[in-house]
Amino acid sequence: MAKKKALAPNKQPWRNRIVESGVQAADQFLAHPDNYRTHSHEQEAALRHVLDKVGWVQEVLVSKRTGYLLDGHLRVRAALDRGDATPVPYKVVDVTENEEAALLAVYDPIAVLAGKDNDKLNELLGLLTDEDATLAKLLHGERKREKKLVAFDAAESFEVVVEC
């Protein structure tokens, strides 16, 4: 058994901001007006495929103070497409509006910025069945976009000047 590491000196444990969880109808959620994320049709199709095949494995995240979604807009939209009364699991966090903005800004982008082990991804893609074609297509397309980004000519540069 691994030895527990003690908190570094002068460090407090992180606060638990989760105050509630449950399940409610899809039409009871409020999209956050400051949500900046957009999703392609391929992403929507892949998410619906996984929800149809596996079901819910992650709750959507709701702010206690404003009632707005902080994470899970696409999952709620997919549930709404099935019917307003589709049950959606959620958890509620008690955060300030400034903290809401921070969560909206960084929650998903942190995962997007993560590195990838292409060998492990290839193994996972090999495990997908024919009925997972939508998901496989999305993941293969994402890998092609990454290769194009890597091929960007870094010698070419641009300068943007903004005067206020």
Q: How far is CA 163 from CA 159, 160, in A?
A: 13, 10
pLDDT tens digits in sequence order for the chain, 164 residues long? 667 777 677 788 999 999 999 999 999 999 999 998 888 888 888 899 999 999 999 999 999 999 999 999 999 999 999 988 999 999 999 999 999 999 988 877 655 656 778 887 777 777 776 666 666 666 666 555 555 444 444 444 445 555 54
Question: Whole-angstrom Cα distance, residue 41 to residue 136?
Answer: 14
Tokens in use for 111? 């995962």
Find the radius of gyration of the CA atoms of the chain: 20
- Say which amino acid occupies 164: C
- Among 140, 124, 59, 117, which residue's Cα sits nearest to residue 93? 59
Within 10 A of 48 (CB to CB), how many other CB atoms are there? 18
Q: What DSSP designation does 130 have?
A: G
Compute the residue count for the chain: 164
Tell me whether residue 126 is exposed, middle or buried, using C-beta atoms within 10 angstroms of its C-beta: 0 to 12, 13 to 18, 19 or more.
Answer: exposed
Which residue in this structure is represented by tokens 């999209």? 31
127 in Cβ contact with 136 (< 8 Å)? no
Per-residue pLDDT, 139:
66
SS3 35: coil
